[in-house]
Structure 1
């Protein structure tokens, strides 16, 4: 299996937030919410052989998307933000950095102390 890492997020603001924190080459794919069957098939082909991490919002739309990935891409690793923050983009930097670090994704050290 390739060591290339890919993080799947819902929106552009999620991608921006994660990109700020991550300190290694990682592809961040934006689904823009729920995705149809044909786009899911394309994604599965695109992600074959990669280390895939699913990082979606802690809301109904995010859970629907997560269930879709569990069915279609069972080898993906699921990362969870605390439900209190609801959205990836709204989670404090420190929280998001610790979630990513817990998945062996290298993060910029300053975000382990940073709030907001």
Structure 2
């Protein structure tokens, strides 16, 4: 939570998710890593930080990802939820082309070379 001037915020689970998404995204997006869980203190900080920002949630397609998604859905009902195909299970292991397509579908600008990979 460094730059309060960034309009878009993407919440992911792990550091590897963050690193992978960071490579793909072309525009300034704050990527927040929850490390799979989120404490009440961190949640309170996030609520204040995310006010008046476009919030996107991209978590793994597994039990822990869905549990986190439900918690974030309650706290940030205005957030847009992005989903990877269940066959990839994890954001970190999903192909970059798939992630780029998911992100561009949410109007997040991506480096075009990731869309062309196949």
Alpha-carbon offset, residue 37 of structure 1:
1.6
Unaligned runs of 5+ in 2: none
Which residue of 4, 25, 28 corresponds with 1:25? 28
- 2:115 matches 1:109: no
Alpha-carbon offset, residue 3 of structure 1:
7.1
* Superposed CA RMSD: 1.2
- Tell me the distance in 1 between the aligned counterparts of 2:96 and 2:52: 29
TM-score normalised by length of structure 2: 0.93
Which residue of 81, 87, 92 corresponds with 1:89? 92
- Tell me the distance in 2 between the aligned counterparts of 1:3 and 1:28: 10
Q: Is the 8 A contact 2:12 2:34 kept in 1?
A: yes
1:68 maps to what in 2?
A: 71
- Tell me the distance in 2 between the aligned counterparts of 1:43 and 1:62: 18
Unaligned runs of 5+ in 1: none
- Tell me the distance in 2 between the aligned counterparts of 1:104 and 1:36: 29
Aligned length: 114
Alpha-carbon offset, residue 32 of structure 1:
0.5
- 2:94 matches 1:79: no
Q: Is the 8 A contact 1:58 1:86 kept in 2?
A: yes
